A and B are shown apart, each in its own frame.
Chain A
């Protein structure tokens, strides 16, 4: 099987159109606390929304102002310019307020135009505990009821378990891809690894599994990358633009690890299922897994995970990229930087926008950083 499709990271409507031709629904989702397993089990294709490839967002800017995160504006732009016309609606969880506003504006404009599309926001607690889990479970029950109404399908534990198994398989396959990156000379660049992970939103989960298997089967035939001077990890704001990594890798760095919500973060943990409480297992998983700093009680662990990953992947330096106007991912350095310093890993902090307008400047800073850390 030709797995090259995994490296076409642009938003593609190919799979979803085929899916919809069967009379089924497709729903976009924003942020990481919408359990895709629920959508899948109800025969809905879940598509994580992104702005990849966008160069300008005039409508997004008008609605959200330029004082907003350009990734979130980009998503709104994609929604308004018809890139996502195949979607029957959007489900979001209350991640950061920028992504929430992309959702609010999309819903507002769609309702104004009487499009009749589906919009739903799930409340996800920002802490984990019994109360929080119960609250989130109730939110998920409401979501299920709404989606059942939308599709006419009924959710059962069996269907949900089958979907969880599929997504767990994806998680396990991505972990195998990441294991390849631990090698001294990995067979996949950071740019390609991100493309491969972004591709998860271009395919049905079944197609994606097959493509990942094909890639892994061929991994031993791929040429190891031997011409890089420093092993890097990338952390920070939502990054769905592999070109960003390309600029830095062209200067001699190689991203062997990441902490991105569009990258490894969402695949790092498998879901454990208690047969007697499937929805509870789902709630546990989504509230406990560490994906981003939206949670109030996971900062210390999030930072520890980064430090541990640096050791595990033998990282020489960390690139901490912060989207302009992204507070959610903006405040980790106070404690993370000294922790990284303690293990001898320097950190480069860079601001960016969704569209890679300042590639030249980034390249200069990346080159200086790589020169400083190369061994």
Chain B
């Protein structure tokens, strides 16, 4: 029998430093699309957003656009209103993470300068900068003081590596009017920065367009999330992966198009009374921490092996703040501030643990999971340090025990897929299905 040999030409070229990360991502998605066209044309919509995003990044300069790299939550709509292309740094490690060799290259590079315990997301994009392998140089860099200590260390270093006009936001832990005011004022400063950087004035009409797209995205995302409250949950766990990075693309119409499709599929599944579990939904899983990007197949595996669908995760959970009066500058900037504070990862991870408790409580109240898994990304030390408070609350209030499983959401070398599924299987067999 002929042995199946995986073509690793692209990966090898990245490893040798001959292919940039953006080129790699573009070529990968082109290949996936070609295969999808042949085998599963109905699912092409799932790849279109990625196609648009990576090509946008790579080809921005060819199209005369400026590239603004950003780390952490920032008001992306404003970047777009200035006709620049925003590049969300997190999308790079997330895209590379299914291949541990690739992330390994950049992580190892970063570990020469930052502790090994730094988050894999941060290490990967720092390593890519150190190896000078983005493929394009940013024209500006914007970052924020959240979510965590890892990012607070890595962003200022990257600022010095990029050596381009840079703006940094300081985000308070307060989620009240004082906090919002502070952020609105900083957003005004950011507008001035962008005006100086681009040499143009903020075009409110363009910002309104971006905010309109963004509203559509978040409205649809909220509706998709609502579908997941349904029993059986109509959508597979792996679709949650997108939530974590949707901020990067929320103000692009392609994002809304994708979510419209997702909503359509979800509604159809509800009508058919179906869900992703082959033998019907037996369990509803809540992931308490980060998404396991390096192995999102773990969610498919739980569906297949234990008829356990992941209904929500505390990483990507969205609050769905929408702009109201699009002509009210202060009001819009205040909504941006709220969106930033309720952004995936920021909402639960940064600031006092009570945010994480509140978020988890909401998930358990609204999605009614009966399985709780703290799939703890080891880089996220501050969520580990709130884990007991959160899992105690779940046990006391909802009677659900939690599994603690340490993983690296980005660096697949930390634990093999077999080790992860082995630990999950043991939990399902000895606790959930006992």
Contact partners of A102 in chain B: CB under 8 A = 385
A330→B153 contact, CB < 8 A: yes
Q: Residues of B contacting A326 with CB < 8 Å?
A: 115, 149
CB distance from A270 to the nearest CB of B (A): 26
Residue B28 at the chain A interface, CB threshold 8 Å: no
Residue of A nearest to B388 (CB): A63
How many Å from the CB of A177 to the closest CB on chain B? 31
Interface assignment of A126: CB less than 8 Å from any CB of chain B: yes
Q: A97-B382, A125-B172 provided; 16 other pairs, C-beta below 8 A?
A: A72-B385, A98-B385, A101-B353, A101-B385, A104-B352, A104-B354, A127-B170, A131-B186, A296-B168, A297-B168, A300-B160, A327-B115, A327-B117, A330-B114, A330-B118, A331-B153
Distance in angstroms between the alpha carbons of A289 and B38 in the assembled complex? 63
Residue A62 at the chain B interface, CB threshold 8 Å = yes
A300: nearest chain-B partner, CB-CB: B160
* A248→B411 CA distance, assembly (Å): 35
A327 nearest in chain B by CB position: B149
- At the interface, yes or no: B193 with Cβ under 8 Å from chain A? no
> Is the CB–CB distance between A64 and B384 below 8 Å?
yes
Question: What are 29 contact pairs spanning A and B, CB under 8 A?
Answer: A62-B388, A63-B388, A64-B384, A65-B376, A65-B381, A68-B385, A97-B381, A97-B382, A97-B385, A98-B382, A101-B386, A126-B152, A131-B182, A293-B152, A293-B153, A294-B152, A296-B155, A322-B115, A324-B115, A324-B117, A325-B381, A327-B117, A327-B148, A328-B152, A330-B153, A331-B118, A333-B113, A335-B157, A351-B115
Binding site for A on B (CB under 8 A): 113-115, 117-118, 145, 148-150, 152-157, 160, 168, 170, 172-174, 178-179, 182, 185-186, 189, 350-354, 376, 378, 381-382, 384-389, 404, 406
Within 8 Å CB of B168, what residues of A? Answer: 127, 296-297
- Report how far A6 CA is from B230 CA in the complex, Å: 65
CB pair B389–A108 under 8 Å, yes or no, is yes
Chain B residues near A333: list those with CB within 8 A: 113
A342 interface residue per 8 A CB criterion: no
A35–B70 CA distance with the chains assembled, in angstroms: 33
Q: Are B389 and A97 in contact (CB under 8 A)?
A: no
Q: Decide: A331 near B376, CB < 8 A? Known: A127-B168, A297-B168, A325-B381.
A: no
Interface residue ranges of A93-109 to B (CB < 8 Å): 94, 96-98, 100-102, 104-105, 108
C-alpha spacing A96/B152, complex, angstroms: 10
The residues in A between 317 and 342 inclusive whose CB is less than 8 angstroms from any CB of B are 322, 324-328, 330-331, 333-335
Q: How distant is the Cα of A122 from the Cα of B150 in the complex, in angstroms?
A: 21
Of A64, A104, A327, most B-chain CB atoms within 10 Å: A327
What is the 8 Å Cβ interface bit string for chain A, positions 9-21, against chain B (1 contact, 0 not)?
0000000000000
* Residue in A closest to B393 when the chains form the complex, CB atoms: A108
Judge whether B170 and A296 touch: CB under 8 Å: yes
The 6 A-B pairs at the shortest CB distance, nearest first, are namely A101-B385, A331-B153, A97-B382, A330-B115, A327-B149, A104-B353
Nearest chain B residue, comparing its CB with the CB of A322: B115
CB <8 Å contact, A334 and B113: yes
Q: A105-B389, A293-B153, A299-B156 are in contact. Are A100 and B118 (CB under 8 A)?
A: no
Residue of B whose beta carbon sits closest to that of A65 = B384
Once A97-B382, A100-B382, A127-B170 are accepted as A-B contacts, the answer to whether A327 and B114 lie under 8 Å apart by CB is yes
A104 close to B386 (CB less than 8 A) = yes
Contact residues, A119-149 vs B (CB, 8 A): 121, 123, 125-127, 131-132, 135, 138
Give the distance in Å from the alpha carbon of A62 to the alpha carbon of B385 in the complex.
9
Q: A108 — nearest CB in chain B belongs to which residue?
A: B389
Nearest CB on B from A340, distance (A): 14
> Does A291 reach chain B (CB closer than 8 Å)?
no
Q: Does A91 contact B (CB under 8 A)?
A: no
What's the Cα separation between A63 and B404 when bound, in Å? 13
Alpha-carbon distance A298/B338, docked complex (angstroms): 27
Contact of A370 with B by CB under 8 A: no
Give per-residue flags for A219-239: 1 if the beta carbon is below 8 A from chain B beta carbons, else 0: 000000000000000000000
Cβ B113 vs Cβ A135 within 8 A: no
B381: which of A68, A104, A126, A322 is its contact (CB, 8 Å)? A68
A279 at the interface (CB under 8 A from B): no
- Bound Cα distance from A69 to B115, whole angstroms: 12
Minimum CB–CB distance for B173 against chain A, Å:
6
Separation in Å of the B194 CB from the closest CB of chain A? 17
